[in-house]
Structure 1
Amino acid sequence: MKLQEQGGGALQTSKDLFAGAVGGVTQVLVGQPFDIIKVRLQTSTAHKSALEAAASIWKHEGALAFYKGTLTPLLGIGACVSVQFGAFHQARRWFEARNAAASPSAPLPVSYGQYYAAGAFAGISNSVLSGPIEHVRIRLQTQPHAASARLYNGPLDCVRKLSAQGGGILPGLFRGQSVTVLREAQAYGVWFLSFEWLMNSDAARNGIDRREIPSWKIAFYGGLAGEALWLASYPFDVVKSKMQTDGYGAARRYATMRDCFAQIWRAEGALGFWKGIGPTLLRAMPVSAATFATVELTMRMIN
């Protein structure tokens, strides 16, 4: 396996961030309809299947309802994916430099354990943004559709009310942040590890440079990495969604992340941690494929 090009500095980091932002916008536009179905299944017992949930949304709320709460992720997820790729490549370059320093005559390539660690670092870095952004998005996705019953008049109103109800910005807006950090570390460690393994294996198998791998393969490998991401982290996501749709004060059901895990287990058993996995996996393939293909091709154009 060829050692990836070493490089760094502010210019390369800015390129990583820009490519990630482009990939993030693509990710939201492709994945938002699937995401709202996933959240409805995770947080409500009103729907028995993904198809039934989709039909209900279409019938009672209209086609535009599949893009409820899109403004927040469109602005925020672009920033999140930008941070993910910027942090991942920064960590990858740190591992490359560390390996080179340990063995100057024959630098070792980045190991897959190091790829996982770099991905986990990217996820933890990203969680500072993704926690509150996803909290606002989930609140907007799950509020009643009728204008008279609507709880929030948009993202800014949602932020204001969550902060007021939760006793401040940190406890109100960052509800469920502990499980968000766990989910992001595991999810993105597996995501980047899977993609790098698939890409490096293809390059080694065919005796080519990574830059020669065609775009359709990049998209396919990115899609497979997306499936791996969710299979590895989905139970954390269910707990996060439940905590971020929980009430405040007397209406609060979950005292802590651990309490939420325990209540799901008692009420629904192991299957409770996998509610909504079907539409999530359907969403993961096109969304992750589009993200990696967009980022990889953008990097090829600007480097």
Structure 2
Amino acid sequence: MRDDSGLAQTAKDLLAGTVGGVAQVLVGQPFDIVKVRMQTAQAGTYTGMGDCARRILVNESPFAFYKGTLTPLLGIGVCVSIQFAALQSVKRFFTQQNLRSGRGGKTGEELAAGQLFVAGAWAGLANGIVSGPVEHIRIRLQTQPASAPLYKGPWGAITSIYGQHGISGIFKGQVPTFLREGLGYGAYFWCYETLMQREMRKRGCKREEVPALWAVGFGAAAGYALWFTIYPIDVIKSRIQTDGFTPSTRQYSGTLDCARKLWRGEGIAGFTRGLGPTLLRSPFANGATFIAFELAYRALS
């Protein structure tokens, strides 16, 4: 491992993570709005992701695919930087543990599956503090009617929601967000880091010597690991974050109530709606995230 000071190392993690987050948003946003529209619409509104995308294009213009982008562009950059900083910090902690116990190879950096999952889960939970409100605001903007929008941009949504419902309104849907982030990013980073470590062993090289393009394939696989682990939770989160704020306007009293009603009303199909654009988006967005992170991290090193 490098002898960087803790502060310098964390700054490097944060900056490289921000680069990865910006790449993720720019590549993935058009797919994401289709996913959210399908997740939150009434059953039968769209015949599929092609129909949903066509309606957005025809009724709202091509620019609608980037509706609400400013919030994630600013917020997801912060989220992903937090993810990678938390991940790298826990990985270094486990590496030191391995060195003391004589595990993990000569450098201690070959982490076990459980260590990788815990590091990823911690990264997800740390990220969830920011991603919850960021995604809430983004989803409100993505789903508001084009003809009569409720909010004039991200700041308008934040001030309006906070003014009427306080901090709890901003953090609406935080329980399923933490559940999603912990489980999902545990699987996400476990998959990516396992593939990266295997490639390092196969080549007998250091991490920075693995061709950066391999990060695209590893990132794509990690994205699928994430979504196949947590997609039903993501649907519940989206439903709650587009639900009303007051008892008289709310459809769901909480996470479990939402899950029960969705199951009774639509069965398994309700928990998989919008999965198509998510799986289509995943290799592009997550491949872009990891190659951007790896290239930035190596440049900063």
TM-score under structure 1 normalisation? 0.94
**1:165 and 1:248 in contact (8 A); partners too:** no
Alignment of 1:150-229 (within 5 A): 150-166=149-165, 168-169=166-167, 171-229=168-226
Q: Distance in 1 between matches of 2:264 and 2:82?
A: 37
Which piece of structure 1 moves more, 251-260 or 100-109?
100-109
**TM-fit CA distance, 1:268:** 1.0
Alignment of 1:194-273 (within 5 A): 194-249=191-246, 250-273=248-271
**1:164 and 1:172 in contact (8 A); partners too:** no
- Per-residue CA deviations over 1:72-116 (Å, capped at 9, x if unaligned) read 111101000000000000011111122223349977532111011
Q: Give the counterpart of 1:280 among 266, 278, 281.
A: 278
Alignment of 1:1-303 (within 5 A): 9-45=6-42, 46-103=45-102, 108=108, 109-146=110-147, 149-166=148-165, 168-169=166-167, 171-249=168-246, 250-303=248-301
Q: Distance in 1 between matches of 2:265 and 2:161?
A: 27
Which aligned runs of 4 or more in structure 1 are off by greater than 3 angstroms? 4-8, 102-109
Look up the SS of the partner of 1:189 in the other structure. Answer: helix
**TM-fit CA distance, 1:218:** 1.4
Q: Distance in 2 between matches of 1:200 and 1:110?
A: 8
**1:7 and 1:93 in contact (8 A); partners too:** no
**TM-fit CA distance, 1:39:** 0.1
Identity over the aligned pairs, expressed in percent? 47
TM-score under structure 2 normalisation? 0.94
Which piece of structure 1 moves more, 132-141 or 272-281?
272-281
**TM-fit CA distance, 1:205:** 2.1
Structure 2's unaligned 5+ residue stretches are none
**1:8 and 1:90 in contact (8 A); partners too:** no
Q: Which amino acid aligns with 2:227?
A: W
Q: Which amino acid aligns with 2:169?
A: G
Q: Distance in 1 between matches of 2:215 and 2:280?
A: 18
**1:265 and 1:272 in contact (8 A); partners too:** yes
Structure 1's unaligned 5+ residue stretches are none
Which piece of structure 1 moves more, 92-101 or 190-199?
92-101
**1:84 and 1:123 in contact (8 A); partners too:** yes
**TM-fit CA distance, 1:8:** 5.3
**1:8 and 1:93 in contact (8 A); partners too:** no
Q: Which amino acid aligns with 2:121?
A: A
Q: Distance in 2 between matches of 1:207 and 1:101?
A: 23
Report how many aligned residue pairs link the two structures.
Answer: 296
Which piece of structure 1 moves more, 213-222 or 5-14?
5-14
